[in-house]
Structure 1
Amino acid sequence: MGSQAQHVYTDQASIRKLESLIDQLPAHGHVVLVMQDGCSCDGVVSARPNMQMCRDTDQHEGLNAQVKLQRPDVPEWNRRVWLDQVARVEHLWV
């Protein structure tokens, strides 16, 4: 148990949604993540995310997942995003 997440999930519907997002994030895929709050971020998926057992701020155990995005043109840039904050994934084809 290494991660602390703002939210964790134990119900099957939420877990299936996280699994669906994971399936849409192949390693080295160039994507735009449209977030629940309406903002977005784009980058290249460094590795396909995995579901993780985490604790939330109240120490409840459950599942969540993170994806790490990178930009090859800006090597020092990267961003980690919790998948429960993602509304949808858009794929950029180059």
Structure 2
Amino acid sequence: MGRSAEKVYTDHGAIARLEGWIADLADNAKVAIVEKDGTKTTGIVTVLPTIQSFLDGEGNEGMNGVVKLFDPDRPDWVATIWLDHIERIEHLDSVARGTSQT
């Protein structure tokens, strides 16, 4: 992924919301993520997401992040979801932050 994002955030409240989604995700957790547009994606979190610096289409620098999901039943499939698109996270297993399924 490049350093480009559709939308970036500099406001502390908006960045805190992004950090809140990260706090609700764990490595190897099976989740269903519902986006603001209603899209629902189910998969396993590949790695704990982080907030990073990006540039928007106008060259403004700010923060955003992505979560990547995979599905062992579909080895060639990977979903990348921007944190600011998330409406809700549904946990589908008992993996908590700091644990592993292995």
> TM-score range with shorter-chain normalisation?
over 0.9
Identity of paired residues, percent? 40
Partner of 1:54: 54
Alignment of 1:22-61 (within 5 A): 22-61=22-61
Following superposition, the deviation at residue 88 of structure 1 comes to 1.1
Partner of 1:15: 15
In 2, the alpha carbon distance for the partners of 1:7 and 1:60 equals 9
TM-score by length of 2: 0.88
1:80 correspondence with 2:80: yes
> How many residues are treated as equivalent by the alignment?
93
Partner of 2:93: 93
In 2, the alpha carbon distance for the partners of 1:3 and 1:25 equals 23
TM-score by length of 1: 0.95
Partner of 2:99: none
More strand by share: 1
Amino acid at match of 2:90: E
Following superposition, the deviation at residue 3 of structure 1 comes to 1.6
Runs of at least 5 residues in structure 2 that lack an aligned partner in the other structure: 95-102
In 1, the alpha carbon distance for the partners of 2:72 and 2:5 equals 27
Amino acid at match of 2:51: M
Amino acid at match of 2:26: P
In 1, the alpha carbon distance for the partners of 2:60 and 2:33 equals 27
